[in-house]
Amino acid sequence: MQKIVLKILRTGIVSEPPPAPDEALRRLSGRLQDDVLRQLGRALAIRHVDAGSCNGCELEIHGVNNPYYNLEGLGIKFVASPRHADLLLVTGPVSRNMEEALRRTYAAMPAPKLVVAIGDCGCDGGIFGESYCSRGAVSNILPVDVAVPGCPPDPAAILRGILTAVSVRRS
């Protein structure tokens, strides 16, 4: 126990300030009213679905939970059930074998709901493209509010995408 406490004290707090939202990432706007976004922005619940990625994006989504990015410190957390989620974080490309599961996960979420597509493959199918078994971009299946490019996008970029989705649009 002593060793653990000492290690925690020596490590200190390494968390960094969050990135600012970036309107360039927004694909759809006006889906949610500003007052709803204000509420969601303060305590957001995220459900993640890997719809066919290479698992690189998952490594970076794990990254946003590390002490540097400290997602939970912003009032945002990943939840185990779509029924508890406000935002669906999807990596792709969407394989045909995952298409139905992705649709059902989205359907199980209570409205209002947001969708953020992660990574080049989530944005446009990436190197895998569309084929007999790949539907490509997440937006081919679901309405996508924000899309974050990158292969994989780093945790700061993912965090920026999430914060953009719940930020109130500046006119």
Partner 1 sequence: MNAAVPARRAKVDAAGWLAAFEQAAQAGGRLGALWASDERDRAGGFAVHGVLVTHEGLLWLELAAEGETYPGVANLFPAATRPQRAIADLMGLVASDLDARGWLRHGAWGARDFPLRRDVKADAQFTRGDARYAFVPVEGEGVHEIAVGPVHAGIIEPGHFRFSVVGERVLRLEQRLGYKHKGIEKRFENLALGDCARLAARVSGDSTVAHSWAFAMALESASGFEPPARALWLRALLLERERIANHLGDLGALGNDGGLAFGLAQFSRLKEDLLRLNARLFGHRYLMDRVVPGGVAGDLDAAGIAALLEEAARLDEELVALRAIYYDHPGLQDRCINCGRLAPRTAAALGVVGFAARASGIAIDARLYPGFAPYDQLQPRIASHRNGDVAARIVVRFEELFESLKLERRILAGLPATPAAAPLPPPAEGARGIGWVEGWRGEVIVALEAGAGGRLRRCHPHDPSWQNWPALEHAVIGNIVPDFPLINKSFNLSYAGADL
What six digits make up the tokens of 128? 């895998």
CA 147 – CA 124 distance, rounded (Å): 10
Give the contact letters, 40-79, x = binds to partner 1 (CB under 8 A), - = no: --------xxxxxxxxxxxxxxxx-xxxx---------x-
Based on the shown chain and the rule CB under 8 A, indicate whether residue 101 belongs to the binding site for partner 1: yes
User: Nearest approach, Cβ of 82 to partner 1 (angstroms)?
Assistant: 8
CA 119 – CA 109 distance, rounded (Å): 22
CA 136 to chain centre: 18
User: Nearest approach, Cβ of 86 to partner 1 (angstroms)?
Assistant: 17
**Looking at beta carbons only, is 20 or 80 nearer to partner 1?**
80
Name residues whose C-beta falls within 8 Å of residue 162's C-beta, 6 or more positions apart in sequence.
44, 46, 64, 76, 87, 89, 116, 146
Helix (H) or strand (E) holding 58: helix 56-63
Measured on CA atoms in the order 166, 110, 145, 94, is the torsion positive or negative?
positive
Based on the shown chain and the rule CB under 8 A, indicate whether residue 93 belongs to the binding site for partner 1: yes
**Looking at beta carbons only, is 41 or 153 nearer to partner 1?**
153
Q: Which stretch binds partner 1 (CB under 8 A): 25-33, 36-44, 129-137, 162-170?
A: 129-137
Based on the shown chain and the rule CB under 8 A, indicate whether residue 107 belongs to the binding site for partner 1: no
Which of residues 29, 73, 77, 97 is near partner 1 by CB under 8 A?
97
Q: How many CA atoms lie within 13 A of 80 on its CB side?
A: 0
**What residues line the site for partner 1 (CB under 8 A)?**
3-4, 7-8, 11, 14, 48-63, 65-68, 78, 80-82, 93, 95-98, 101, 105, 126-134, 151-152, 154
